Every structure is written in C-alpha cells, then in structure tokens.
Homo-oligomer: A and B are copies of this chain.
Amino acid sequence: MSLYKNFQFSIEATSGGARAGILKTPHGDVHTPAFIFCATKAATRVATPQVLREEGTEIILANTYHLMLQPTADVVEQQGGLQQFTGWRGPMLTDSGGFQIFSMGHGHVADEIKGRRTGKNEKSLLKITEDGATFRSYVDGRKITLTPEDAMDIQRKLGADLVVVLDECTPFNVDKAYTQKSLYMTNRWAKRCLTHFEKNDTGKQALYGIVQGGIYEDLRKESVEFLNGENFFAHAIGGSLGQNREQMYDVVRFTAQYLRKDRPVHLLGIGGIRDIWEHASQGIDTFDCVHPTRLARHGGALTVNNKERINLPNARYRNDSRPIDEHCTCYTCRNFSRSYLHHLVRTGEPLAHSLLSIHNIHFMNTLMRTVRQSILENTFEETKKEWLQRLEEPVGEK
C-alpha cells in the first residue's frame, strides 16, 4: 500500500449506511461526502478559483478527453500541471477520457447511459479493440487511439491528484451479453492501467478503478469483486444506472453493498439533491455532475422544492425584491434580488451566469456540509427525511 503513501482516506463517523470521511491528497483535504464541480475544459465556465474557494469548494475535476485535444497534455505539463495552469491550488480529479470518447461516439452518452434514446450519432468513435479506443478529434479531425497506458500517461502529465482508469462506458441500450463482454475488457484495461500507473508512480497521484456491469446485479458484483482485489486507492461507480431514478437508486444500492469499506467511493455524473441524500445513505463519498453550473447557464437557481430549482426567467420574479433564498449566505443572495437576476437573464447579460453559478456552487457545498454534519451528529436519517419532505413543496408556494 506504499503506492498511495501521500494519500489517505479515513472514516470519522457513520450514520446508517452513510459515512463522513476525510480524503487527504497532496493538495489538501476533502471532507466527505463532497461534491466535485466540473471544470470540464480546466475552467468551471464562469467561476474563478477565488469564487470556488469563497463559496466553500474543496475539490474540482477536469476532463482528460477535452484537455488532451486542447491545449494538449504536453502544454498543461509544460505549464506546471493543472493546479498551476488553472490557478486552482486544491485537490483535483481527472477522468480517463473514456466517458467522452464513448459519449461522442454513441451520440450523447449522457442520454444513452441514463437510458434516454436520441437519434444522434456523431460517429467520432471509430473503433474499440483490445488495444484501446480510436476516435476522431473534434478539434482538428485527427484519428487518435487512446490505450489504457495512454490514459495513465496523459493524466500523469495533467497532474491531478486523483486519476481514473480507462474503461468502456457501456450505454443503456446494449444487451447483457455485450455488457458482460465489455466488463471483462474493462477489467483487463484496469489491470493494464494499474500496472502502468505503478511503474511510473511519482507519489503524487492516486488511482480509481471503475465499476461497470450496467443494470445487472451479478455483473456489478463481479466487477466490484475484481476491483476489491486490486491495488486501487478508490472506486468509482460508472456506466448505465438505468432508465429512471428508482432504477438508479437500486443499481447503486446493490453495487455499493459489495464495495470494500476502506476505500472512498465516487458516483460518476450524479448530482440531484434527492439523489445525493439517497446515495449518501448507500455509502457514496463523492459526487460530480455538470448540473449545478449548467443550470446556472440556463437561468436556474438551486432551491429546495419539488423542482429542486427556481427559474429566474419566469415573469413572476420581475419585481421580486427577495434574494433567491433568504437563508442563503452566498455572495449572490447577500447582494442581489430575484428581480435583478430576472433582468440579467432576460437581457442575456453574462453576469447572470456568474451570479447563478455562485449561488449553485454555494448551495451544493452547503448541502454536502449538511449531509456530513448530520452523519457526524448521527442524525442523518432524520435530516434526510426532513429534506425529502421539503423537496415535496411546489415551487409556487415559495
């Protein structure tokens, strides 16, 4: 275990199935359960590192797929790695690039994986072989093959603390036979990643293995048992989680139960308020999702009601002098009215995007601190119940 000597995950408390921990990295600590904000192309769209910090953020992630194409891993390495490049000096995770390769290949994989069919197929994914995945760059049209070893080398150059194995991310609409075959290749890729990672270890990174197996409990169990026996620092749950919320809760539940308890568990791409409460109770330690920052771009502010948001473009906010949330202490809620935000969104002022991002980032960090605190105080179940009740309230009543 000396592979991860500069990293540590310790569990401070549990409450039911939920756990509060500390994930130590060379760039600082992450208090879990935690939300990891997406800085897809090495920027969280509009929030500066200062804003991220001020609003309580401890960790962000960037996407290897985008960065390997532009500005390239070599440029990021020459610029001192992602933390130097982006000015974010805290803990950081990169994914393997796999998700986007398969996403662009299968049309919108976010839709596919979540079971929503779309007609799109960009065909940028050219082939998947035992060697790796070949795709066409959306930047310059070049044909690129990404092998498990490449994924490790590229992430080493990018320099995030937490890195992830290359996996085939199977969409919803494949059958069990394909899912199983794919899982076995993903496992072989995971071994290759680990071997390559160990060979070039610098002590500055820790490796996540990814659970695949789609919606099939036996395959998920098989995947987990494989990962539990390998020298990964942590695990991430990926792949299709089914067609709806109920199925997702079910898939994560039967997957998480088999995972070793001494390693952190990340759930890829999930970030709804209800979802976080549910999955925290299943033992998930970290989450990521573009939702909070993407919602901001579309004029939405996270709030606790049955839509999990209010939509500022709505005419009802035109002359509403209240902040988004009277109890929120974010910069936006301390300084600006719904009326002003409505005006900014309506006139297309980019400040709307910034101010709503600030609120949504603050909201997610506050939510995670609430979840964590309730675990530490062993009041998780009551607090969860109370939140789920508040999440039944219609928007109109606010």
A residues touching B (Cβ–Cβ < 8 Å)? 41-50, 66, 70-71, 75, 78-80, 85-87, 318-319, 321, 331, 335-337, 339-340, 342-344, 346-347, 349-351, 353-355
Additional pairs, 7, CB under 8 Å, beyond known A43-B351, A47-B351, A48-B354:
A43-B349, A44-B351, A45-B350, A78-B321, A79-B337, A85-B337, A85-B340
Given A71-B318, A75-B318: A85 and B339 interface contact (C-beta under 8 Å): yes
Which among B41, B48, B343 is the interface contact of A71 at CB below 8 angstroms?
Answer: B343
Which among B75, B349, B355 is the interface contact of A45 at CB below 8 angstroms?
Answer: B349
5 contacts between A and B (CB under 8 A): A47-B351, A48-B355, A75-B339, A85-B337, A354-B354
Interface centre among A87, A337, A343, A355 (most CB of B within 10 A): A343
* Beta-carbon nearest neighbor of A332 in chain B: B48
Residue pair A87, B47 in contact (C-beta under 8 Å): no
Residue pair B71, A349 in contact (C-beta under 8 Å): no
Which among B47, B66, B79, B331 is the interface contact of A50 at CB below 8 angstroms?
Answer: B331
| Residues of chain B lying within 8 A (CB to CB) of residue A344 | 41-43
* Beta-carbon nearest neighbor of A74 in chain B: B319
Residue pair A350, B66 in contact (C-beta under 8 Å): no
* Beta-carbon nearest neighbor of A50 in chain B: B331
A340 CA to B85 CA, complexed, in Å: 6
* Beta-carbon nearest neighbor of A45 in chain B: B350
| Residues of chain B lying within 8 A (CB to CB) of residue A75 | 318-319, 339, 343
- Shortest Cβ gap from A153 to chain B (Å): 19
- Shortest Cβ gap from A380 to chain B (Å): 36
Residue pair A41, B335 in contact (C-beta under 8 Å): no
Residue pair A346, B70 in contact (C-beta under 8 Å): yes
* Beta-carbon nearest neighbor of A355 in chain B: B48
Residue pair B351, A350 in contact (C-beta under 8 Å): no
* Beta-carbon nearest neighbor of A357 in chain B: B350
| Residues of chain B lying within 8 A (CB to CB) of residue A342 | 71
* Beta-carbon nearest neighbor of A349 in chain B: B43
Which among B46, B66, B339 is the interface contact of A79 at CB below 8 angstroms?
Answer: B339
